């Protein structure tokens, strides 16, 4: 029998704490009732009668020599209960049974079974009970050691979730988005939370530990310590991921540029692409992502690439021209399917900038991929004006895809000049939208009215006012330029013009 | 004068009582002995059941009992000639037998001495040396009283005859080896003595008690009209009281004739081999049972090793050998044991106090929990 003098009351561990970061964590918990009992000492008993000599707060550990079966465990349980012991630890082979567990639950006494030598186990327990701080420090040290071995945020969160019993941890962005770990942590009623700085030293995310029950102050402090230990490795992992993303993006850009710089060559002459997820053989449907041209593209790449990898980890994404290129490679793949999938994924992606996408036609081999990508780029040129999350296929846009390639800023500036007269009218923007619709409909005011959702007379009235401003769209040599000028202005009019929905709809069709 | 006759009509009651006192394990599969005994009584006539005091104190007597496996006995039953072999073997050492008594009036050993008395045309003394079943032949009150076990005569199913002259513990070991080699069982005559020395060395009234308990059990057997109470409840305490379950009526009847108490009853939640390290001396395998008591919610844990050895109630020792722990199957209203039970069965746990001789310090040393390898003090010992 071994026993340890009780430490000062304030420092006594509870059974709960011994489970969470003490040796009891290794034991099989048969009954987890009333784990808040304080532990004052550990007693290893090799005879039942020895239990009678121990007072409240004792962890009663049954010696392996007591291998007499379930009846013995139940007898010990009864004696331990009568003496307000903290819990009972039995050798697993001695055979606590489900009925034993029922009895323990009835007595609300925690019972554990251990598969190892209970003598050594009792010593370890006694050491933990004698020195609560040491037990906490050991857990923290173990976590710190494991943190150092993990390179990803996922891995570091895994250490906390795996090693710290009763705790679910998650890494949350300030807006509540779960970057890694268990979402349950974010919803937990009882939390311990520390801020995690980004590579720039400013708050980047929160590391949150969710606890099932209100933690004892000492336990909350232990969890906080472990979370703080995880902060630096997390920051490092973020920095590493960003560097990796930039490096990977540049690699991909180079590879894609090499692939596309050889138009007309056969597949055999193409450079070998060995980046993960890259396939040039088979049937492809290319995708091109774009953001608002006003936003600077290159600096955004790490954010876009990592957001893409989060939802589509198996597909490549390479920064290319003024956007990002990717492609689906499947034997039966169709652009419509790709567009639908992409819409769903864009909605889920947490990107730093608004993204819209164009989808090319399906085509085979490296040559086909080139063509499909060019089509996707054209389509994306049109969708970028439509806003975040918009996806259009090349076929869907038809010839309008061509308009997407026009230099938007220059053309719009010129359009504002050539249509200055029209825009100067009180309802200038409305007139431009109407003019675009009439031109779209080959001069038919009836069809234009239907398209704009207006009465034909309204359109006729507007056409009169347009003509009154000196705009003659009957001249064949003027019509193309007028039409282009209207298209150049439509996006900005769609954003702020007072023509309401009609203009907006016209711009989106 | 307490002489009574045991006839073949008494065999069913004897069999049922024998099953009860076998403490739920050794009573299994002893029906063959009932048939066999019935035939003998029909042919040889009834047996006189007498109190020791009714006989001449100088009468030579010996305890008769079988040792070994009841399964082996059922497969290789006695022929009926065995008692004569025993009697002649002992006659050479102690003189002619004038009476026989059961080694233990329980299980098959409640029947064999009756057969022996009938075949040898001797009276059967209404006493025994255990009052229940113990696994070892020297776990007897005779032993406590200092009666020598030897000379011991034994005969096997193959008529191998043996006369052992040795100490009690060695006799057990040697005879068990012979029993195994000779077909699984031996019929023995042992503790030969004079009737006058039985006073204070034997448990009086054992055979009568077996018969009485047997009659109670038969009276409550399924198929009997409800309310047909046992003879001891002739006042009709349960008569017409349909609200009382049949098993409760039976329990009341058994309690009345044996002084038994009901420890609890309910669903058997666990039955299976026990990991307890059994003493090598005891044949059989340790088994553990757990019964969930319906009324109190308590858990009754029973440890068995052929016989039910001890019962814990919520981890606290409630009953132990030498007292009898018995299980009643509520469904069949028969005594039952681990071999016939599966989890989910409804059982009642009865505790029948052993004869006072067993509750002495030497008695508990020979037949208490410690003798079965349990480091526990018997409840009486603990209380004392």
Chain segment A395-424, per-residue pLDDT in tens: 888 777 777 666 667 778 888 888 888 888
What band does B236 get if pLDDT is binned at 50, 70 and 90? very low
* CB-CB neighbors (< 8 A) of B374 in chain A: 68
d(CA B337, CA B106): 15
* Neighbour order of strands in the sheet with B346-352: B316-320, B307-313, B299-305, B286-293, B261-273, B346-352, B324-329, B334-336
Question: Which whole number is the average pLDDT over A182-191?
Answer: 87
Q: Check CB contact under 8 Å for B376 and A75.
A: yes
What band does B355 get if pLDDT is binned at 50, 70 and 90? very high
Is the model's pLDDT at B133 over the cut of 50? yes
Is the model's pLDDT at B147 over the cut of 80? yes
Q: What is the pLDDT of residue A404?
A: 66
Q: Check CB contact under 8 Å for B375 and A47.
A: yes
Q: Check CB contact under 8 Å for A70 and B290.
A: yes
User: Which DSSP letter does residue A409 get?
Assistant: H
Q: What is the pLDDT of residue A439?
A: 87
What band does B224 get if pLDDT is binned at 50, 70 and 90? low
* Neighbour order of strands in the sheet with A355-364: A318-320, A323-329, A283-291, A355-364, A391-393
What band does A441 get if pLDDT is binned at 50, 70 and 90? confident
A291 by Cβ neighbours in 10 Å (0-12 / 13-18 / 19+) ranks as buried
Give the number of beta-carbon pairs within 8 Å between A and B.
77
Q: What is the pLDDT of residue A505?
A: 36
B42 contacts: CB under 8 Å, gap ≥ 6? B8
Q: Check CB contact under 8 Å for A70 and B288.
A: yes
User: For the packed helices A408-418 and A476-496, what is the interaxial angle rounded to 10 degrees?
Assistant: 110
Q: What is the pLDDT of residue B163?
A: 95
What band does B237 get if pLDDT is binned at 50, 70 and 90? very low
- Do the beta carbons of residue A288 and residue A323 sit within 8 Å? yes
Q: What is the pLDDT of residue A507?
A: 34
Q: What is the pLDDT of residue B229?
A: 44
d(CA B168, nearest CA chain A) in Å: 28
| Nearest residue of A to residue B287, measured between CA atoms | A69
Could you read off the pLDDT of A45-61 as tens digits, one per residue?
A: 998 889 999 989 999 99
Residue B315 sits at the chain A interface (C-beta within 8 Å): yes
| Nearest residue of A to residue B274, measured between CA atoms | A69
Q: pLDDT: is A256 or A122 the higher one?
A: A122
From the CA atom positions of chain A, what is the Rg in Å? 35
Please name every residue paired with A504 in a beta bridge, in sequence order, or none if there are none: none
* CB-CB neighbors (< 8 A) of A93 in chain B: 275
In the block, residue with structure tokens 């630096």 = A232
Could you read off the pLDDT of A447-472 as tens digits, one per residue?
A: 999 888 889 999 999 998 888 888 88
d(CA B36, CA B19): 16
Q: Check CB contact under 8 Å for A103 and B376.
A: no
What band does B198 get if pLDDT is binned at 50, 70 and 90? very high
d(CA B8, nearest CA chain A) in Å: 43
Q: What is the pLDDT of residue B234?
A: 38
Q: What is the pLDDT of residue A390?
A: 85
Structure tokens at A73: 């465990």
What band does A500 get if pLDDT is binned at 50, 70 and 90? very low
The B residues from 227 to 286 touching A (CB cutoff 8 Å) are 269-270, 272, 274-277, 286
Question: Which whole number is the average pLDDT over A284-293?
Answer: 85
Between CA B274 and CA B283, with CA B277 as vertex, the angle to 5 degrees is 85
Is the model's pLDDT at B243 over the cut of 60? yes
Question: Which whole number is the average pLDDT over B139-150?
Answer: 96
Is the model's pLDDT at A425 over the cut of 50? yes
Mean pLDDT: which of A82-91, B120-129, B340-349, B371-380 is highest? B120-129
Q: What is the pLDDT of residue A304?
A: 83
d(CA A430, CA A473): 16
User: Average model confidence (pLDDT) for chain A?
Assistant: 81
Question: Which whole number is the average pLDDT over A182-200?
Answer: 86
Q: Which of B269, B270, B375 sits opposite A48 (nearest CB)?
A: B375
- Do the beta carbons of residue B330 and residue B291 sit within 8 Å? no
* 3-class secondary structure, B368: coil
CA nearest to A375, candidates A402, A355, A356:
A402
Region label for B240, one of left (φ > 0), alpha (ψ between -120 and 50) or beta (otherwise): left
* CB-CB neighbors (< 8 A) of B303 in chain A: 69, 71
Question: Which whole number is the average pLDDT over A132-158?
Answer: 86
* CB-CB neighbors (< 8 A) of A48 in chain B: 375-376
A216 contacts: CB under 8 Å, gap ≥ 6? A14, A16, A17, A36
d(CA A215, CA A193): 13
What band does A508 get if pLDDT is binned at 50, 70 and 90? very low
- Do the beta carbons of residue A314 and residue A277 sit within 8 Å? yes
Share of chain A above pLDDT 90, in %: 18
B315, B317, B318: which to substitute to probe chain A, counting the most A Cβ within 10 Å? Answer: B315
Residue B303 sits at the chain A interface (C-beta within 8 Å): yes
Other Cβ atoms within 10 Å of B250 Cβ, number: 23
d(CA A309, CA A315): 8
Q: What is the pLDDT of residue A318?
A: 85
Question: Which whole number is the average pLDDT over A33-49?
Answer: 88
Residue B312 sits at the chain A interface (C-beta within 8 Å): yes
Share of chain B above pLDDT 90, in %: 72
What band does B215 get if pLDDT is binned at 50, 70 and 90? very high
Please name every residue paired with A356 in a beta bridge, in sequence order, or none if there are none: A290
Q: Check CB contact under 8 Å for A70 and B274.
A: yes
Structure tokens at A22: 């003490």
Q: Check CB contact under 8 Å for B277 and A68.
A: yes
The answer to which of A417-431, B216-230, B234-248, B347-361 has the lowest mean pLDDT is B234-248
Q: Which of A75, A94, A98 sits opposite B275 (nearest CB)?
A: A94
d(CA B79, CA B101): 20
Q: What is the pLDDT of residue B89?
A: 95
Could you read off the pLDDT of B254-299 as tens digits, one per residue?
A: 999 999 999 999 999 998 887 665 555 566 678 899 999 988 999 9
Q: What is the pLDDT of residue B131?
A: 94
Share of chain A above pLDDT 70, in %: 87
d(CA B377, nearest CA chain A) in Å: 10
d(CA B307, CA B315): 20
Bond preceding residue B322 cis, omega within 30 of 0 = yes
The answer to which of A140-154, A243-257, B204-218 has the lowest mean pLDDT is A243-257
Q: What is the pLDDT of residue A272?
A: 52
Question: Which whole number is the average pLDDT over A204-215?
Answer: 84
Q: What is the pLDDT of residue B235?
A: 42
d(CA A464, CA A285): 46
Could you read off the pLDDT of A110-129 as tens digits, one per residue?
A: 999 998 889 999 999 998 88
B211 by Cβ neighbours in 10 Å (0-12 / 13-18 / 19+) ranks as buried
From the CA atom positions of chain B, what is the Rg in Å? 20
- Do the beta carbons of residue A478 and residue A472 sit within 8 Å? yes
User: Average model confidence (pLDDT) for chain B?
Assistant: 89
Structure tokens at B248: 């409760």
Is the model's pLDDT at B233 over the cut of 70? no
d(CA B286, CA A67): 13
- Do the beta carbons of residue B188 and residue B152 sit within 8 Å? yes
d(CA A184, CA A396): 43
The answer to which of A193-202, A267-276, A424-433 has the lowest mean pLDDT is A267-276
A360 contacts: CB under 8 Å, gap ≥ 6? A285, A286, A287, A288, A335, A371, A372, A373, A374, A375, A376, A379, A393, A394
- Do the beta carbons of residue B44 and residue B84 sit within 8 Å? no
Question: Which whole number is the average pLDDT over B74-95?
Answer: 93
Could you read off the pLDDT of A62-84 as tens digits, one per residue?
A: 998 776 788 889 999 999 999 99
Q: What is the pLDDT of residue A299?
A: 66
- Do the beta carbons of residue B52 and residue B22 sit within 8 Å? no
A64, A71, A93: which to substitute to probe chain B, counting the most B Cβ within 10 Å? Answer: A71
* Chain A positions touching chain B (beta carbons under 8 Å): 47-48, 67-72, 74-79, 81, 93-95, 97-99, 102-103, 106-107
Q: Check CB contact under 8 Å for A102 and B299.
A: yes
d(CA A194, CA A233): 14
Q: What is the pLDDT of residue A385?
A: 67
Share of chain B above pLDDT 70, in %: 90
Q: Which of A69, A75, A99 sits opposite B275 (nearest CB)?
A: A69
Q: pLDDT: is B185 or A136 the higher one?
A: B185
Q: What is the pLDDT of residue B239?
A: 46
Is the model's pLDDT at B232 over the cut of 60? no
Is the model's pLDDT at A435 over the cut of 70? yes
| Nearest residue of A to residue B291, measured between CA atoms | A99
What band does A108 get if pLDDT is binned at 50, 70 and 90? very high
A459 by Cβ neighbours in 10 Å (0-12 / 13-18 / 19+) ranks as buried
Q: What is the pLDDT of residue A509?
A: 30
């Amino acid at each position: 029998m071994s026993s340890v003098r009780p430490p000062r009351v304030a420092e006594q561990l509870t059974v709960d704490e011994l489970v969470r970061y003490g040796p009891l964590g290794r034991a099989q918990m048969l009954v987890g009732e009333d784990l808040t009992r304080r532990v004052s000492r550990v007693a290893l008993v090799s005879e039942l009668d020895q239990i009678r000599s121990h007072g409240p707060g004792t962890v009663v550990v049954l010696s392996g020599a007591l291998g007499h079966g379930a009846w013995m465990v139940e007898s010990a349980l009864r004696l331990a209960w009568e003496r307000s012991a903290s819990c009972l630890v039995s050798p697993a082979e001695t055979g606590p049974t489900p009925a034993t567990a029922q009895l323990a639950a009835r007595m609300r006494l925690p019972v554990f079974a251990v598969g190892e030598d209970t003598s050594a186990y009792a010593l370890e327990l006694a050491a933990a009970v004698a020195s609560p701080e040491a037990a906490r420090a050991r857990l923290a040290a173990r976590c710190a050691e494991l943190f150092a071995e993990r390179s990803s945020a996922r891995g570091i969160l895994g250490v906390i979730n795996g090693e710290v019993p009763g705790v679910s941890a998650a890494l949350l962005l300030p807006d509540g988005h779960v970057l890694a770990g268990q979402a349950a942590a974010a919803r937990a009623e009882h939390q311990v939370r520390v801020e995690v700085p980004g590579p720039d030293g400013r708050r980047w995310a929160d590391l949150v530990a969710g606890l099932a029950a209100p933690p004892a102050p000492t336990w909350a402090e232990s969890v906080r310590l472990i979370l703080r230990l995880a902060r630096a490795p997390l920051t490092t992992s973020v920095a590493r991921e960003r560097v990796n993303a930039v490096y990977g993006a540049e690699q991909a850009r180079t590879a894609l540029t090499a692939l596309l710089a050889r138009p007309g060559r056969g597949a055999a002459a193409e450079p070998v692409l060995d980046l993960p997820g890259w396939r040039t053989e088979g049937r492809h449907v290319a995708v091109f992502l774009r953001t608002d041209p006003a936003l600077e593209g290159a600096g955004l790449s790490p954010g876009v690439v990592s957001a893409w990898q989060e939802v589509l980890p198996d597909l490549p994404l390479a920064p290319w021209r003024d956007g990002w290129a990717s492609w689906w490679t499947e034997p039966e793949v169709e652009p419509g399917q790709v567009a639908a999938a992409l819409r769903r994924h864009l909605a889920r992606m947490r990107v730093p900038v608004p993204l819209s996408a164009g989808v090319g036609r399906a085509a085979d081999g490296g040559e086909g991929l080139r063509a499909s990508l060019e089509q996707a780029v054209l389509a994306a040129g049109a969708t970028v004006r439509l806003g975040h999350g918009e996806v259009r296929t090349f076929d869907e846009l038809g010839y309008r895809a061509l308009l997407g390639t026009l230099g938007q800023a220059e053309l719009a500036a010129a359009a504002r000049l050539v249509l200055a007269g029209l825009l100067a009218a009180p309802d200038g923007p409305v007139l431009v939208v109407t003019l675009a619709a009439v031109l779209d409909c080959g001069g038919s005011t009836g069809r234009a009215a239907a398209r704009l959702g207006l009465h034909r007379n309204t359109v006729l009235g507007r056409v009169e006012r347009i003509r009154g401003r000196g705009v003659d769209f009957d001249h064949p040599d003027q019509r193309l330029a007028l039409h282009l000028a209207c298209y150049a202005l439509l996006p900005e009019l769609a954003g702020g013009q007072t023509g309401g929905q009609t203009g907006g709809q016209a711009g989106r069709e | 004068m307490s002489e009574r006759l045991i006839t073949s009509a008494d065999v069913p009651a004897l069999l049922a009582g024998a099953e009860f006192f076998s403490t739920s394990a050794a009573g299994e599969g002893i029906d063959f002995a009932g048939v066999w005994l019935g035939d003998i009584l029909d042919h040889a006539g009834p047996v006189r059941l007498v109190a020791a005091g009714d006989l001449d104190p100088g009468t030579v007597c010996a305890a008769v009992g079988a040792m070994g496996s009841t399964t082996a006995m059922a497969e290789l039953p006695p022929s009926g000639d065995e008692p004569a072999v025993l009697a002649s073997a002992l006659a050479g050492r102690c003189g002619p037998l004038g009476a026989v008594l059961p080694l233990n009036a329980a299980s098959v050993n409640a029947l064999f001495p009756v057969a022996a008395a009938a075949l040898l045309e001797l009276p059967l003394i209404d006493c025994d040396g255990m009052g229940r079943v113990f696994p070892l032949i020297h776990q007897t009150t005779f032993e406590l009283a200092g009666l020598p076990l030897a000379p011991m005569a034994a005969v096997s199913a193959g008529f191998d005859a043996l006369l052992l002259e040795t100490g009690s513990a060695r006799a057990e070991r040697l005879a068990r080896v012979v029993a195994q080699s000779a077909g699984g069982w031996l019929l023995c005559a042992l503790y030969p003595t004079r009737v006058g020395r039985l006073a204070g060395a034997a448990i009086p009234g054992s055979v009568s008690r077996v018969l009485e308990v047997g009659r109670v059990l038969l009276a409550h057997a399924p198929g009997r009209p409800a309310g047909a109470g046992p003879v001891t409840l002739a006042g009709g305490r349960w008569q017409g009281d349909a609200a009382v379950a049949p098993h409760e009526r039976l329990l009341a009847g058994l309690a009345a004739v044996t002084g038994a108490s009901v420890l609890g009853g309910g669903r058997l939640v666990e039955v299976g081999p026990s990991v307890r390290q059994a003493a090598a001396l005891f044949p059989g395998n340790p088994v553990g049972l757990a019964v969930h008591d319906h009324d109190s919610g308590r858990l009754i844990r029973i440890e068995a090793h052929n016989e039910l050895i001890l019962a814990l109630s919520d981890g606290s020792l409630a009953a132990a050998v030498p007292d009898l722990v018995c299980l009643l199957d509520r469904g069949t209203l028969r005594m039952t044991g681990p071999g016939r039970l599966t989890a989910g069965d409804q059982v009642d746990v009865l505790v029948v106090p052993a004869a006072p001789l067993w509750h002495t310090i030497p008695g508990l040393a020979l037949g208490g929990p410690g003798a079965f390898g349990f480091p526990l003090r018997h409840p009486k010992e603990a209380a004392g």
